[in-house]
Each structure stands twice: as C-alpha cells, then as structure tokens.
Structure 1
Amino acid sequence: MGDRKVINVYLLGIGFMLIFTAFTTCGNIEQTVIRSLTNSSFSGSGYNSLAIIYGVFSASNLIAPSVVAVVGPKMSMVFSGVVYSGYVVSFSKPMTWSFYITSIFIGFAAAVLWTAQGNFLILNSDCTTINRNTGIFWALLQSSMLFGNLYVYLQWRDITLISDHDRSTLFIVLFVISLVGTVILLALKNIKHLHHHSEINDPLLLDSRLFKEKAMSTLDQITSEFRSMLRLFCTKNMLLLSMPIAYSGLVLTFYSGVYGTCIGATRQFGTMAKGLIGLSGIFIGIGEILGGGVFGLLCINNQFRRTSAILLGVIVHFLAFYLIFLIIPGDAPKGGATSGHYEPYLSPSPSAALVSSFLLGLGDSCFNTQLYSILGILYPQQSGPAFAIFKFVQSISAAVAFGYSNYLVLSSQLLILTTFCFIGTLSFFIVEKIEDNASGLQDF
C-alpha cells in the first residue's frame, strides 16, 4: 500500500505538471498576446478573464467538497482537466464571447480540481509523509513553469509583435500537453472506497425505491460536506490561516499575470521584452522547484520547522518587491499606458528582473508548502473541506488582485503585497504556536 501511495503522489504531480504547463504559460502571456491580436472585433482583457476565473473559483469552492465527495477525487480531477484543456485551446482562435464563457467554466473546474487534489494528497499521506509528499507534488507541479515558458523565450525573444500563426501554434501545442496530463490522472488508484464504482453496474439500482434511497444519501452527503466546511471556516485556527492564504492569492496574481505583463511593457528592455516574459516564468519555476525540494524532500522527518520556512519566504519576497519597485516603471502593469510619466528608479536590467522572478518563486513555495503541510496536520479527517476553504480564500484574494491590477500602479500593488505578507506571517506564527502548545512542544 505504501508503494502505491508514493506512485500516486508522483502520478498526481506529473499530471498537474502537464496541465499547468499549459495553463500557467497561458496565464503568463495572455495579456501580452491579447494586445498583439490583429482581430479588431476582439475586446477581451486578460486581467478581466483571470478576475472572472478566480471570482467563480472562489464561489465554486462552497460546493466543490460536495462534488468531490459524490464523484470521487480521481474523476473530479479528470473532468476538471478536460475543462482546462478547453480553455487553453480557445486562445488558438480567440473570440470575446468564448473567452469569457470558458473563463467561467474553468473557474468552477479549478475549485473542483484543487479540492480533489488536496483530498487525494491527504488520503495518500500521514503525519510522517505529509512533508515529503507535499514537496514531491509541489516540485513536480512547479516544473510546469519551465517548459512552456522556455518555448516562449526561444520563439519570441526577438519579436515585438506576436503573429496569429505563432499564437495558434503555441496554444495548440499547450492544448495537447494539457490533454496528456489529464490522461495521466486516469492512472491514479483510489486508496479508499475501492468498491465505489462497482455499484454502478448493480442491476438492483434500477429498482426505483433503491434509486431514491441512493439519491437521498447523495443529497445528505452534499449537505453534510457543506455544513462541515462552514463549521471549519469559523474555527480560530482557520480564520487565522485565512490571512497567509489570502496573501498566497495576492502573490499568485502578481507572479502569474502581472509581473510578466510588467516585463513585456518595460520599453527599456527593447526587443528582448517579449522573450523575457518566458525567461521570467522559467526563473519563477526554478525558485518554486527549489523551495519544494528543500522544504519537502529534505524534511522527511519534520526536522525543519514550518516557521523557519515561512520566515525565509518573507525575507526573499521583501527583497523581490523592493528590487521590482526599483527597476520596473510604475505604469508597467497597465502596459505602459502612461509611458514616460513613471520612470524606474534604477536602469532596468534583465538580470535583476530574472533575480526578482527567482525570488518570487522561492518565496511562494515557502508559503504554499507550509500551508499544505499545516492543513494536512491540523485537518487529516477533514481534508476536503479544509482545502476547499484554502482555495476559496486564495481565489477570492486573487480575483480582487486581478481586478485592481487594471487600475493600480506598480508601487500601490507592491504596498498591498508587503502589508499582507507581514500580517499573514504573524497569523501563521500564532497558529503554529497554538499547535505547538497543543502538542506539548517547546518554543523554537
């Protein structure tokens, strides 16, 4: 059983790596791609699309645990992967109506996908393997930042305008990659409730009385999961953890959608700007993978404290924010719309921009791996509701951030990130202190 669980974790990570190779690359470049469209009838905004995705995502987390409880984590992830593939391929021939409709669909699919993923990861872990499994999954997932962005860098590094052919080729390739990741998720083996699907072919289910009883049982399960999530959300620990979770959503918005746009709009980078978007994504991915390895794979026996990892995340993020503040023009999030009014304090340097990318990824992995770890330790029997709350809070903050990214200059966005980083860190430390006291551990 132990070997089966490890294989499940690796398959889960590889499947997500491929799906998010497509989706993360898409999110990183979509605003830049949209600005290069020659189709004058298209009036969509990448920021607005991402705001819709995360808005629907947040609302859908209220029912996602119920969906996962009824359908099962494996098939929930498979169905969601198909929707992700549909969103990616819609960019091969963008139309405003399909652009926003698929944004709504993928918002719902994302809630189901991540709730199922958290549930499945906890089912395949215990208190001695949660750090290891989180690290394995996180390192594989964040490898998705490398491949698509490497293609973007190699193909777009010397161009100033993205042609229709270049765009279509990229998104069709990403579509195929996403589908392959979804197929890999089909290879996952359920650890519990192996008899679940055998009931489907039972001829007794054709009896109307038994069918009604089955329907009522499903309804009770949905209601129970929803109530469980609401009760869990109102607990002291979860309310405190909502602050670092909200911060993770804000920084997700920044590195996945805003920062790439900022680099592409910094005119001092010249013809390198578009290619640097892809290279920036690669360096973010390297930081994410390194963090996942250090705080997961090397912490097999929980010898490294979560608070130490969070503290490192705070330091590297503060360094990244300050460096970005110095080298990127203030109007860059809006595509340099007021070019000339916001000059950077230091001459923009590609190497400094890539160092900032690496620091963003490393700091993000510090926060996310430790949030996964503490949720797995605190709520091993309520993993579905716990991870639904995690994604609910994270997606709300991400939706808000994508909304204000259309309007706020860079310095204002960095101030918001810095403030939430500080508050979220304090809240995490309080929860860790409560957990230490409950476990009879000494101060670190």
Structure 2
Amino acid sequence: MSDEKTSPAVEPTEHAAAPTHTPTGRPTGWMHKGFKVAGHEFWYASPIVQLVMVAFVCFLCPGMFNALGGLGAGGQVDATAQNHASTALYSVFAVVAFFSGTIVNTLGVKLTLSFGGLGYCIYAASFLSYNHNENFGFVIFAGAFLGLCAGLLWTAQGTIMMSYPHEEKKGRYIALFWIIFNMGAVIGSLIPLGQNINSTGTGAVNDGTYVGFIVLMFLGAVLALFLVNASSVIRDDGSKVILMKNPSWKTEFQGLVETITQAPWVILLFPMFFASNTFYTYQQNDFNGAHFNTRTRALNNTLYWTSQILGAVIFGWGLDSTKARRSVRAKVSFIALSVVMLVVWGGGWDWQRKQATREVVESKTVAYVGYDWTDGGEKFIGPMFLIMFYGFFDAAWQTSIYWYMGALSNSGRKAANLTGFYKGIQSAGAAVFWALDGTKQPYNTMFGATWGLVTGALIFAAPVIWLKIKDTVTIEEDLKFSDETVADVAPTGTVITQRKEEEA
C-alpha cells in the first residue's frame, strides 16, 4: 500500500446529481455548478474564476500604479523623486523576484498576493505626502517597499495565469487577464483626466487623484484574500495543477536551481525579460511627461492603456488559434512581434529626433510649455497615435512572453520559478533605465537604448521560439519537476488515473 495522495473526488452537493465523464474524464456539459472540490464550490475554484479575481486584484493595484506612472513623474512636475523611487523599487524588485517563486510555492498565492497589494497603497500615499512636504525620503522608502511587494504579487499572478488553464486556452487566459488589468489603468487614468481637464498648465496633479488611487489599491489587497490556493484549483475535466506535495524552503530553493539546470537554454529568453519594462521610462517620462501639459498627459495616458487592451486581444486570441499547431503559432507570433517593433520604433524615432532636447525642456531659464491637445498636427495628432502604438506593442510583447513561458511547462511550481526569473530580470532592466533617466541622459539616448535592447532581445530569443516550443507538454514530463504522481493531477475517472492508482 502506498500513502501517496490521490486526486480529490468530485462530490455532488445535496441537490446535485453526480457528473458523468467521457472516456477522457471530461465532465459532459456545464457540470461545475453545485459540486464541491477540496472544500470549495467547483465553479469558484475553477481556473477562469480565479484568473478573473486575480485580474481584478491587478486592476486595483498595479493597474492604478500604471495609471499614476503613465502621467509622467508620478503626477509631479519634476521627475527627480519618481526617478529615484523607481530605481529603488526595481532594484529591490529584481532581487526579491528571483526568490519569490519559492515564497509563492511555500506560502500560497492568496497570502502572497494580498501582502503584495499593500505596497501599492503606501507608494501612492508617499506622493500625496510629497505634494505637501516634499518628503523625498518617504517616496524612496515607499518605492523600495513596493519593490518587495510587487515581486511577490507578480510572481503569484504569473503562476495563476500560466499554470491554471489547459494548454489550448493559455493565450485567451493571458489576454483576458491583460484586458481586465489594463482596464484598471484606463479607469485610473480617467481620474486625473477628469480632475485636470480644464488645466492647461504643467503643475502636479491634485490631492484627490492620489486619495482615489490609495483607496482603490487597498481594495485590491483585500480582494486577494478571497482567492483559493493553487492546491484547491480544479479544472473542468477534474485535473489539478502540478505543484509539490510537501513543499519546504529547501525543496523550493532546489526547484529554483532546477529551473535553469534542467533547461539551460531558457537563458536565451533573459534579454527579452530584461527589455520588457525598459521602454516605460522613455514613454512615460521622456515622451509623455516631458512634452505635454497636464491634461494632455492624462489623455495620452488613457489612450496608452486602452491600446494595451487591443494588443492583448489580438495577440492573446491569435496565440490560441486552432488553425495551426502551437509550434507554428509561436513562430508566427514572433515574426509579427518583430515587424510591429520595427514599425513602431521607426515611427517613434522620426518624431523624437525633431523634439526639444532635455536641456531645453528642463532649463530654468526657458519657459517651455508642453503641447496641448488643441495644438493638433505634429504636436498632438501624430504623437497621439504614436503613444497608442507604444501601448499596443507593450501588450503584444508581454502577452507573448507569458505565452512562451506557459508553452514550456504546465507545472504551477515551475511557472512560479519562471515568473520569478522573468520579473526579477525585468525589474533589473527597469532599475537601470530609471537610474539613467535620473542622471539626465538625453532623450534621444534613452530612445535609442530601448530600441537596441528590444531588437537584440528578439535575436537572442529566436532559437527558443523556433526549436524548443512543442505542440504539447506531457504530464509525465512536467512531473519531473515535482514529487507528485499522475494520480495526483490527472482527471479523476480517466483510464490513466485509474491505472496509476491500481499500480500504487
């Protein structure tokens, strides 16, 4: 006799009939309602419900953070405080994220997400304080603390998004998350737009903007407490997420090492990770913050995050297309991403090279007035479409990275470690670029550095996309990364599960 646990049976509640299964173990019809699994209603512990919930957590926390950052300078006139806070944020984020997969696997996604959400409230509060007392130290501390919290939140989020859905649904799940998450930034950006719509100056946003962000961010941290942990999630065919039966700090640190040693070629994706947040510095501070007045910055911000939704829809649903095998879809998406990058950055350079230098914009002796939406033509209409394409490209880039990582494994444990690497390296890149902006590098230099990075990152990633993404990843292959058995995770009622249980 073995003491290995088996997959929990799906038991009907008092007024429900037992579900029927096809030969593959998938329940016939929409049989979620009324069933309990691991103490939770089946529908509530399903991947789609959990993904939507974590999307709304991110809607309220990093979504609002993005709306605040998209204004340029964190809503202030001088970007110095925000640059230093962002450098502290992403420096801490980079270190914490490398180990956050271990923390998520040990503590669970619910507590990790909730704690992570608190850092966003404190960050917004530091800028409210700065409006009155210019407490530079508080802003720096808040940025560093948010780095700790964000590292945990985003790793837990990535674990849910990449490991909960079936292989054929990952692109749609990623797109759905990105849509809801960026709706937070869209709605959040409407707050300063509405409050500053009659302001043609370039002052800081008012206190009400920051108070609104603080309240919404706190609600996100509370919402995370209503999630279930990955061990309670059950898919519609009865299968479970591959985790670790008895996780400990030791086994999770071993898993961190195994993520690289078992697939060293994943390092070729690291430049793509590194580049993925570097362009925010230029787009938010050196493009939007530097060249437009307060209300136009708010409008550009709204358009930027709205365009992210379109990018997520096109790439997310396209990556799940049934018209081609997954390995083919990976190659097509990579080519499309490369073409979009060349077009958008080419147009961006054509605009940037004609603009005033940083010295002119920030000079205390020159009254530089940012462009207003009434200026039209090259001063607003052209850059308006440009910032929309920047947003579209960002969503396409991030969606593709998550899908590529999700295509490499269906294991929740491995997904947490991959996400940790992704967010850690991503944050290191962001820290470097916020630091560069803090040292007042020329706008043209900031633009050129981001363009060079994304181009180089695609070149490095090409071998992984072409050679390593398979049409499917078997359960047995993923179980090499866990102490679970097929009986623990395969759909209940399937032939393979029954056979493995009999062998045990």
Shorter-chain TM-score bucket reads 0.7 to 0.9
Q: Does 1:315 align with 2:342?
A: yes
**2:305 aligns to what?**
285
Within the candidate set 273, 276, 280, 1:252 is matched to 280
1:10 partner letter: V
Secondary structure of residue in 2 paired with 1:35: coil
In the TM superposition, 1:5-404 aligns within 5 A as 5-29=47-71, 31=73, 33-35=75-77, 45-94=81-130, 95-157=135-197, 158-162=199-203, 167-193=206-232, 221-233=248-260, 235-264=263-292, 273-301=293-321, 303=324, 304=329, 305-331=332-358, 335=362, 348-381=378-411, 382-404=414-436
1:128-180 deviation per Cα after TM superposition (whole angstroms, max 9, x unaligned): 111110111111112223122222223224242546xx521111111111122
1:252-298 deviation per Cα after TM superposition (whole angstroms, max 9, x unaligned): 3333444332234xxxxxxxx11111111111112210011111135
Per the TM alignment, residue 338 of structure 1 is displaced from its structure 2 partner at its CA by 8.2
1:45-68 deviation per Cα after TM superposition (whole angstroms, max 9, x unaligned): 211111110011001113212221
Partners of 1:131 and 1:282 lie apart in 2 by 25
Cα 1:374–1:96 shift into 2, 3 Å: same
List, as ranges, runs of 4+ consecutive aligned residues in structure 1 with deviation greater than 6 Å: 437-440
Partners of 2:279 and 2:334 lie apart in 1 by 19
1:354-404 deviation per Cα after TM superposition (whole angstroms, max 9, x unaligned): 111111111111111010001011133211110000001100000000000
**2:13 aligns to what?**
none
Cα 1:423–1:44 shift into 2, 3 Å: closer
Whether the 8 Å CA contact 1:323–1:352 is kept in 2: the answer is no
1:12 partner letter: V
Partners of 2:462 and 2:365 lie apart in 1 by 41
Per the TM alignment, residue 437 of structure 1 is displaced from its structure 2 partner at its CA by 7.4
Per the TM alignment, residue 230 of structure 1 is displaced from its structure 2 partner at its CA by 3.6
Per the TM alignment, residue 241 of structure 1 is displaced from its structure 2 partner at its CA by 0.4
Cα 1:333–1:177 shift into 2, 3 Å: farther
Whether the 8 Å CA contact 2:282–2:443 is kept in 1: the answer is no
1:91 partner letter: F
Partners of 1:151 and 1:229 lie apart in 2 by 41
Secondary structure of residue in 2 paired with 1:328: coil
Cα 1:385–1:320 shift into 2, 3 Å: farther
For structure 1, the residue ranges without an aligned partner over 5 or more in a row are 37-42, 195-216, 265-272
**2:240 aligns to what?**
none
Whether the 8 Å CA contact 1:295–1:366 is kept in 2: the answer is yes
Q: Superposition RMSD on alpha carbons, in Å?
A: 3.1
**1:205 aligns to what?**
none
Cα 1:132–1:52 shift into 2, 3 Å: same
Larger CA deviation: 398-407 vs 144-153: 144-153
Per the TM alignment, residue 249 of structure 1 is displaced from its structure 2 partner at its CA by 2.1
Partners of 1:438 and 1:237 lie apart in 2 by 18
Whether the 8 Å CA contact 2:337–2:397 is kept in 1: the answer is yes
**1:269 aligns to what?**
none
**1:208 aligns to what?**
none
TM-score (norm 1): 0.81
Secondary structure of residue in 2 paired with 1:111: helix
Partners of 2:432 and 2:202 lie apart in 1 by 30
Secondary structure of residue in 1 paired with 2:468: helix
Structure with greater helix percent: 1
Q: Which has the larger radius of gyration?
A: 2
Aligned-residue sequence identity (percent) comes to 16
Whether the 8 Å CA contact 2:162–2:402 is kept in 1: the answer is no
Partners of 1:148 and 1:320 lie apart in 2 by 28
TM-score (norm 2): 0.72
Partners of 2:231 and 2:139 lie apart in 1 by 38
2:435 partner letter: G
1:376-434 deviation per Cα after TM superposition (whole angstroms, max 9, x unaligned): 11133211110000001100000000000122111111111111121111122221111
